[in-house]
Amino acid sequence: MPADSSTPAVFLSTFQKLVPTHLETPWAEEDGLSTGELDALLAASPAAEAIREAGDENGSENGDENGGDAGGIPIPLSLYEFHRALGNCPDLLETDHFFFDADELEIRDGFLMFLEDSGESTVWGLPVADAELPDPLVWRRSTGADAEHGVWTCEGGTFSEFAMDLLQWTFEEPEDSENA
């Protein structure tokens, strides 16, 4: 878990409530990941590999320079707990937008990419430099995850706000949006 394993969950229950809210079924442990499962997936991700390679280039043993990472990845608490709550819930993670699985997280341009649109033309990420913040601001890049570089623009909301709003919008009934 980021920072310290004795840290109490801050965002976990909020993300767990997304299952009954949008899927009309109770949240179950199978919807999420245990800390051990999540840490193993994070350690196998392209982001972890990039951190290890950067550590090797800098003469560091493991690339773990700050205390706020899991599996070698600098990951904010909100994103970590999002995967703890919903890491095995494709009905929420794979809609019009695709949240990266924990073992798919990747770093580009100094951002930890976590989401891509279904057209693979836009990707969202969190600044690696802000990984120690519990709930950093989300940034958007108008080139897909496969593009080597792109220009990032701040979305103006934190990860938890962004994820909640995105899923609310995704599951909004069409008549709801016409009346808004």
Q: Kindly report, residue by residue over 137-165, the tens digit of the pLDDT.
A: 999 998 877 877 889 999 999 999 999 99
Nearest to 33 by CA among 79, 75, 86: 86
pLDDT of residue 61: 44
pLDDT of residue 53: 85
Say if 6 falls within a structural domain: no
Sequence-ordered alpha helix ranges (H) in 58-158 = 77-86, 90-93
Task: Say if 81 falls within a structural domain.
Answer: yes
pTM: 0.85
Q: Does a structural domain hold residue 153?
A: yes
Q: Which of 159, 123, 155 is nearest to 141 (CA)?
A: 123
| CB-based contact 134:81 (threshold 8 Å) | no
Question: How many domains in the chain?
Answer: 1
Judge whether 85 lies within some domain.
yes
Assess whether pLDDT exceeds 90 at residue 89.
yes
User: What's the rounded Cα separation, in Å, for the pair 180 and 175?
Assistant: 9
Q: Is 180 contained in some domain?
A: no
Half-sphere exposure of 36 (CA within 13 A, CB side): 0
Domain membership flag for residue 117: yes
User: Which domain, by its residues, includes 89?
Assistant: 12-170
pLDDT-based confidence at 5, cuts 50/70/90? low
For the segment 14-24, what is each residue's pLDDT rounded down to a tens digit? 999 999 999 99
What is the reported pLDDT for 59?
53
Strand, helix or coil at 42?
helix
| pLDDT per position as a tens digit, 31-88 | 999 999 999 999 999 999 988 888 766 654 443 333 345 657 889 999 999 999 999 9
Task: Tell me the per-residue pLDDT of 92-116, one tens digit each, with 9 for 90 and over.
Answer: 999 889 999 999 999 999 999 999 9
Tokens of 112: 């930890």
Cβ neighbours of residue 125 closer than 8 Å, sequence gap 6 or more: 108, 111, 112, 113, 114, 115, 138, 139, 141, 152
